[in-house]
Structure 1
Amino acid sequence: MTANAGNRLDDAPLSRFHKKLALYSSGGPFLDGYVLSVIGVAMVQISPQLRLSDSAEGLIGASALIGIFLGAFAGGWLTDRFGRQLLYTIDLIAIIVCSVAQFWATDPVWLFVLRLLIGMAVGADYPIATSLLAEFTPRRFRGPLLGGLVVMWFVGAAVAYVVGEIMLSSLGDDAWRWMLASATLPATIIVLLRHGTPESPRWLANKGRTEEAEAVLKQVYGPDVTIADLPDETEERENVDLKAILRSGYGGRMLYISVFWTCSIVPLFAIYAFGPKILDALQLEGGLANIGEAMITVMFLIGCVVALLGVNRMGRRPLVIHSFLWSGLALLLLGIFPDAPSGVIMTLFALYAVIIGGTQILQWIYPNELFPTEVRGSAVGLASSASRIGAAVGTYLVPMALTGWGVGGTMLAAAAISLLGAVVSVLWAPETRGMALHEAAALTPRPAQDRPSGRPASV
């Protein structure tokens, strides 16, 4: 196969199919943001009604994150083994069933288990949906579309706070039950929209199912596209399996992705799980705390949109470094001045929310670009699972940290994590801007003069 093989796909225009696939794939991140954020509002009623201790409150807040840790790796392995299409729907059906069951939860253990299962289903969707989108999307649009999935996380979070506040003020003592069950509606809509999505032709070709792969290519790209237009990834690197993720160049990539992802979500998820409680500690009380959290969510959304507009122009490496550095400084100021006026507090939170957008969109771009087709789902799942260990621990410790360290100490700890992400990114962050998917995943990078940035393609 020639060196330009696959360019017809990598350089294809953005079609209606690509836009629909990006929208449908964003359903998982939307539900993730929704279920992880609505618990923050629901906890206002759950804690007194179920008489939760700080420890139990932390466990329920972290339960979905623990589930994501379990589900992301399992989903990644399953999607590499059985394909993207089948699991693309099954995981959302599980979310629907468990969300409905939360309405009848009567004790902390039952609620913890259900939210754990929801987290597993959400985590499984990450590698499934992102692998499918990455393998269909032309290189010019891959970064923005993959990063756009994270925008939907914040849309889901914003909707959760609005819905939660409305239910809290209108549905009485059972409002928390309706909040937790409300994820059923968007999950059902997404399942219906995803029906009929084709399998990834790259995955089919990798499994030797060339006739099916060619049929999908013709369906999506036109009748003159054939299997010969798929790049031969084996020419770019040695054959790999899951074990190769943990050794050679892929081991270095996996280490960076796991650390960077962890540092980007630990402070963010802690803020979302207990946002109203944190803002209350910063003298923003009651409904104002929930409204403040919704406003911050809008700023997160703005930050992600700004990052999407700049990711191809600025490049992956500069974006992740600056995002970590300046957002960490905003958290540092919150930690040093926790008694500042409300306007200053909200301004610093808003700055953090806008600036951290760069690291958020790269959570889906980097892993999907740095690993080959046969292990892409497993790699994304493994990185997502590894990051959720830290996120779950951090979320679990937030109530106790607020009690023991105060809000200032808690914010200082969050700042330290973000600044660690900046240091690690300076040392290890790769640049994959402008590369075809098989080039970015190859262990041997293109010569520096052939790349847009001149930065190394691997850690």
Structure 2
Amino acid sequence: MSSSPVSMDDLPLTRFHCRIAGLTYGAHLTDGYVLGVIGYAMIQLQPQMQLTSLQEGLIGGSALFGLFLGSLILGWISDYTGRQRIFTFSFLLITLASFLQFFVTTPEQLIFLRILIGFGLGGDYSVGHTLLAEFSPKRYRGMLLGAFSVVWTIGYVLASVAGYAWINIAPDAWRWLLASAALPALIITLMRIGTPESPRWLMRQGRITEAHEVVRRFLGANVLPGDEISAVTTRHISTLFSARYWRRTAFNSLFFICLVVPWFVIYTWLPTIAQSIGLEAALSASLILNMLLIAGALLGLLLTWMLSRRQFLIGSFLLLAITLSVLAFTPSSNSIAILLLFTLFSMTISAASNLVGILPAESFPTDIRSLGVGFATSMSRLGAAISTGLLPLALTTWGMRTTLLLLVAVLLVGLLVSILWAPETKNLSLVEAAQQKTQGKENEHSVGV
């Protein structure tokens, strides 16, 4: 006797879900490594290339600027062409550009290559979050999407370990550090060969037979694609600012920006900041703090499972703002208090970062999901790129206390936006989540997808 049909949304977690998750996590592992290793490479780059503060900022923020472009452009393209093609192309680009970093001779060459790396990563962020969300059962979607943060953190910590171990071995150690990102990128590229197209996307293109074939082949003969409806949403960036979607676009972009700006400012320049605030053995201190990010990311998975999306996000912004405020007024001579505050900040922001992989993917319908995720990601990376690039100038002009208080202001904006607009999407199907209103009163037609 054949079993009764079951929707993709109601499946238990299977080996295939874990495989897709592993393949999509590859972008975050590589992203964490790429962004983490530049802080250590800069220790040798600055004196060797006689970098100005502006050049330091441009190198530090170049990958983030590439992420801005890639998230926006490739995310939009994937809603037209499908998820799988961008899923493959992005890592081919990342592998090649990462390898070529070994041969750079000028700051401009390095900036260009890191923009290309960021471009590929940005596209993969948009498509990876979307593809995993569209395959995931609703019960496990938050956990699977939230785990992006754990993997990103592992990549970042691996970069710290490599930087800490290699940076003083040879004068050209920075070349090996930067080019080493090509190895995981190549492995991920090869493993992604044969990844199926999203059945939800196929359904929205009217390719019903192909969608059912993908589901039968990879999830089971009795499994049906998700509850996609037939009406098509206009795939244009202006749709994100229509009466139906502008609040969720604004919320996802702003909360994302306000969470990642303090993260990237502090952790891209962590060795420099540790020295500035008086921590002894700054490289050792920054390595320890980076290791704590993994513990925080794992804690975030637990909190994602236990708490509502709104509770988790609002509480995190509040705690982060308080922590940085206290840190700003802690004397630099009190290294123990500084280390404890940085520990609390590290674990909290790492835990809350799980939500950046969840909420954008749950906020938009299939037709514009990659576009919506890509736009939110691109805005966050643009903000992070600008703020990271300006950090050396801010430290020189205003000092550490004022710089930290500016970051507190960013966190308070995120707190306000979350209180006003954060939706609750936990345990909903993707269609139900996309229909869910933000806390602010939306256009009454917003229940459509």
TM over 0.5: yes
Say whether the 8 Å CA contact 1:96–1:187 is kept in structure 2.
yes
Match of 2:171 among 160, 170, 173: 173
Instruction: Quickly say closer, same or farther: Cα 1:299–1:398, change in 2 above 3 A.
Output: same
Say whether the 8 Å CA contact 2:63–2:117 is kept in structure 1.
yes
**Corresponding residue for residue 308 of structure 1:** 301
> What is the deviation of 1:433?
0.9
Tell me if 1:246 matches 2:241: yes
Tell me if 1:145 matches 2:141: no
Tell me if 1:42 matches 2:41: yes
> What is the deviation of 1:343?
1.6
Say whether the 8 Å CA contact 1:303–1:353 is kept in structure 2.
yes
d(CA) in 1 for partners of 2:49, 2:5: 57
d(CA) in 2 for partners of 1:317, 1:6: 34
d(CA) in 1 for partners of 2:436, 2:116: 36
Match of 1:277 among 254, 261, 272: 272
Q: Aligned letter for 1:442? A: Q
d(CA) in 1 for partners of 2:185, 2:79: 24
Instruction: Quickly say closer, same or farther: Cα 1:197–1:338, change in 2 above 3 A.
Output: farther
d(CA) in 1 for partners of 2:235, 2:323: 41
**Corresponding residue for residue 250 of structure 2:** 255
Tell me if 1:18 matches 2:11: no
d(CA) in 2 for partners of 1:232, 1:365: 19
Q: Any runs of at least 4 consecutive aligned residues in structure 1 with deviations exceeding 4 A, and if so which?
A: none
**Corresponding residue for residue 452 of structure 1:** none
**Corresponding residue for residue 184 of structure 1:** 182
Instruction: Quickly say closer, same or farther: Cα 1:443–1:239, change in 2 above 3 A.
Output: farther
> What is the deviation of 1:342?
1.6
Structure 1 portions without partners, runs of 5+: 446-455
Q: Percent identity, aligned pairs only?
A: 42
**Corresponding residue for residue 442 of structure 2:** none
Instruction: Quickly say closer, same or farther: Cα 1:261–1:6, change in 2 above 3 A.
Output: farther
Say whether the 8 Å CA contact 2:24–2:132 is kept in structure 1.
yes
d(CA) in 2 for partners of 1:304, 1:73: 26
Match of 1:344 among 314, 337, 341: 337
> What is the deviation of 1:338?
4.3
> What is the deviation of 1:339?
1.3
> What is the deviation of 1:357?
3.0
Classify the secondary structure of the residue corresponding to 2:168: helix
d(CA) in 2 for partners of 1:118, 1:232: 34
d(CA) in 2 for partners of 1:364, 1:128: 12
> What is the deviation of 1:220?
2.0
d(CA) in 1 for partners of 2:174, 2:413: 36
What whole-Å deviation, never above 9, does each CA across 1:31-89 have from its counterpart, x for those lacking one? 11111110000000001111011111011100011111111011101211111112112
Q: CA RMSD in A?
A: 1.9
> What is the deviation of 1:409?
1.7
**Corresponding residue for residue 230 of structure 1:** 226
Aligned length: 437
d(CA) in 1 for partners of 2:136, 2:432: 14
Classify the secondary structure of the residue corresponding to 1:197: coil
Say whether the 8 Å CA contact 1:331–1:352 is kept in structure 2.
yes
What whole-Å deviation, never above 9, does each CA across 1:225-278 have from its counterpart, x for those lacking one? 34xx4313347xx73433321111311100011110000000100112111000
Classify the secondary structure of the residue corresponding to 2:223: coil
Higher mean Cα deviation, 293-302 or 114-123?
293-302
Q: Aligned letter for 2:204? A: N
d(CA) in 1 for partners of 2:228, 2:52: 56
Tell me if 1:324 matches 2:317: yes
> What is the deviation of 1:293?
1.9
What whole-Å deviation, never above 9, does each CA across 1:288-333 have from its counterpart, x for those lacking one? 3222222222222222211211213211001000011101111111
> What is the deviation of 1:444?
6.4
Classify the secondary structure of the residue corresponding to 1:173: coil
Higher mean Cα deviation, 310-319 or 153-162?
310-319
Tell me if 1:413 matches 2:406: yes
**Corresponding residue for residue 356 of structure 2:** 363
Q: Aligned letter for 1:231? A: D
**Corresponding residue for residue 260 of structure 2:** 265
d(CA) in 2 for partners of 1:278, 1:393: 18
Kindly report which structure 2 residues correspond to 1:90-105, keeping only aligned pairs within 5 A, or say none.
90-105=89-104
Structure 2 portions without partners, runs of 5+: 439-445
d(CA) in 1 for partners of 2:5, 2:431: 9
d(CA) in 2 for partners of 1:301, 1:414: 22
Instruction: Quickly say closer, same or farther: Cα 1:150–1:402, change in 2 above 3 A.
Output: same
d(CA) in 1 for partners of 2:55, 2:205: 46
Q: Aligned letter for 1:157? A: Y
Q: Aligned letter for 1:159? A: L
d(CA) in 2 for partners of 1:443, 1:41: 43
**Corresponding residue for residue 198 of structure 2:** 200
> What is the deviation of 1:153?
1.0
